[in-house]
Structure 1
């Protein structure tokens, strides 16, 4: 089985673990790739669901690691390949002066990415009529695995340690949306200023499009290297159904913000996250991606993963065929548009662990 097919299969169907403690901890709840575990396949580290409903019924099973850290992957009892697990990062063993574990402030994503949700709250999360139905941002906070607001000083301290001890290559800052027209840009400015004063590391900031595009210049001046503004879904009717609050910031505003941000950050340094499997068609995702690429925005398309405890916990994950029908032509479009994942300075697109897109890109240039 080829690497891109296996990655697609594991990311859409999940994997059952004979030894759940293999490698560093899996993530439950929170923002980003939750209910996942990082695994390495043919030298590529990806996030694979392990705590989701599809994963519990997955035909794929990872055996216990051998002495070299390799685990056989079985399907219906037959071996189809092997995987390994990144080790536990050293910075996880540290705490701040006031006793907060570093892991509660930022976590390892993929193999060499430090990620954090600066504000672990959102103006829409507590409202049934406004919340994004896939979101689990409050779960890790409620479980005591993180804190509500990571201060600039805390973020700088953990970033410095992660780079020094574990060779972290870039950092991702996302946030729940606060009150106010900046929609999270202001907290990104304060956070990145402190991080850049402590350690030289590329940083991607992620927030909703600020009402005033002047915030793009302010984030760039603060040291933000790449910007993520995430559509999640591309069709108005899907956006209104799946994320009724966030859909009030319409597609026109997103594209206005994309067009303003690209000249500031550069082509390929602005990206958006698209969750395939929420109801958008293959054609809708590819057409929106084509429009984004023309502007200079990298469309990072990932398979939707149903997360336990959310309204969409029973929503089916997309099929491998559905993802292949998107990622194969999309990778060609991205390459032809000059927006390769490996050229992104920091962030989800550069990490690539939540999608097989970057693997498809490499197939295009062989």
Structure 2
């Protein structure tokens, strides 16, 4: 099994971790229930904390006083992975006594990430909530703030660049009850950060009512934007994310086209969670439409997160992902889209998916 096949298999099955050594993160922005691990110089986010990982054929045994982890499949050693070093900025606090890691966290090995607003208008109503979402978990656990102020983000970002060589930043947000869908909060945050440090930043939000926000975000210093579909068929959208499904696919595509006109081809992306129930043909048909208009479809295996309504949802099959990736990779090539040309964001990082290997 090649390194990329192993990492894909680990992302689908998860990794059962022996003991508590080396574990810390749960909930929050981006890949919840995951841990960053490196193999052959490539860092991937691997599920280790969810229920599915407890049934994985893969087991991790971390070495004492070392950054090495031996991975076993059915008790046979198959690889040695490396744990990225704990970032030095985690040791700092603001003048108010707030730990920097409550404001922003390390993803992969060189990406700073934060959820600027740890609340969403849909999260407390079963009739509207996205069933896969864990936005409130780190807040309930006291590991983050409900709202990160622009000056706090700027302070942490500057330290992360200077102390840990952070290369890019991703700022996402829960959806507020405003027509801008969080774009204003993101705009204010980017302005403050860029005033302190020259760091490529991607923002992520739902399509705002007024597409003029795209230019405002760019003028503030944003280099790329993510607006996430998550599911591609109306069937799955209505079942898994009924509130978000009220924002039509037509609205998303209008927003995608408007954003591409501002940020450029390849600087607009969307997250697609493979394994929610969309079929392979449905996903491939959607990614074909996206790549044609210059949107990078960041397709990742869905990871059921503990504590959410989908915690017992079946994990995607390794063969399903291995069949998907080459097809989407071909579409990316056909439309000259490459994650290396993306200035910031999830596609640029690539740690939650093996798609990069097929571009």
Distance in 2, Cα, partners of 1:26 & 1:129: 32
Q: What is residue 344 of structure 2 aligned with on the other side?
A: 346
Describe the superposition over 1:304-328 as per-residue Cα deviations: whole angstroms up to 9, x where unpaired: 0001111101001100001111112
Q: What is residue 333 of structure 2 aligned with on the other side?
A: 335
The runs of at least 4 aligned residues of structure 1 exceeding 3 Å deviation read none
Distance in 2, Cα, partners of 1:134 & 1:250: 19
Contact 1:31 1:135 in 2 (8 A): no
Q: CA deviation at 1:244?
A: 0.5
Describe the superposition over 1:241-298 as per-residue Cα deviations: whole angstroms up to 9, x where unpaired: 1001011011000000000110110110000000000010101111110100000000
Distance in 2, Cα, partners of 1:328 & 1:73: 26
Question: 2:237 pairs with 236, 239, 251, which one?
Answer: 239
Q: CA deviation at 1:336?
A: 2.3
Compare 103-112 and 337-346 and name the one that shifted more.
Answer: 337-346
1:98 aligned to 2:99? no
Q: What is residue 257 of structure 2 aligned with on the other side?
A: 259
Distance in 1, Cα, partners of 2:331 & 2:207: 25
* Count of residues paired in the alignment: 359
Q: CA deviation at 1:31?
A: 3.1
Question: 1:65 pairs with 63, 69, 77, which one?
Answer: 63
Contact 2:29 2:113 in 1 (8 A): no
Q: CA deviation at 1:66?
A: 6.8
Q: How does 1:1-366 map to 2 (within 5 A)?
A: 1-22=1-22, 25-65=23-63, 69-361=67-359
Q: CA deviation at 1:79?
A: 1.6
Compare 335-344 and 270-279 and name the one that shifted more.
Answer: 335-344
Distance in 2, Cα, partners of 1:262 & 1:356: 24
SS at match of 1:194: helix
Distance in 2, Cα, partners of 1:322 & 1:251: 24
SS at match of 2:213: helix
Distance in 1, Cα, partners of 2:250 & 2:315: 28
Q: What is residue 364 of structure 1 aligned with on the other side?
A: none
TM-score scaled by structure 1?
Answer: 0.96
Describe the superposition over 1:130-179 as per-residue Cα deviations: whole angstroms up to 9, x where unpaired: 00000010111011000000000000000000000000000000000001
Distance in 1, Cα, partners of 2:145 & 2:35: 21
Describe the superposition over 1:52-101 as per-residue Cα deviations: whole angstroms up to 9, x where unpaired: 11100111112223776332211112121221100100000000000110
Distance in 1, Cα, partners of 2:30 & 2:317: 21
Distance in 2, Cα, partners of 1:206 & 1:41: 28
What is the alpha-carbon root mean square deviation over aligned residues? Answer: 1.1
Distance in 2, Cα, partners of 1:288 & 1:356: 19
Q: Which runs of 5+ in 1 are unaligned?
A: 362-366
Q: Which runs of 5+ in 2 are unaligned?
A: none
Distance in 2, Cα, partners of 1:359 & 1:68: 29
Distance in 2, Cα, partners of 1:37 & 1:193: 30
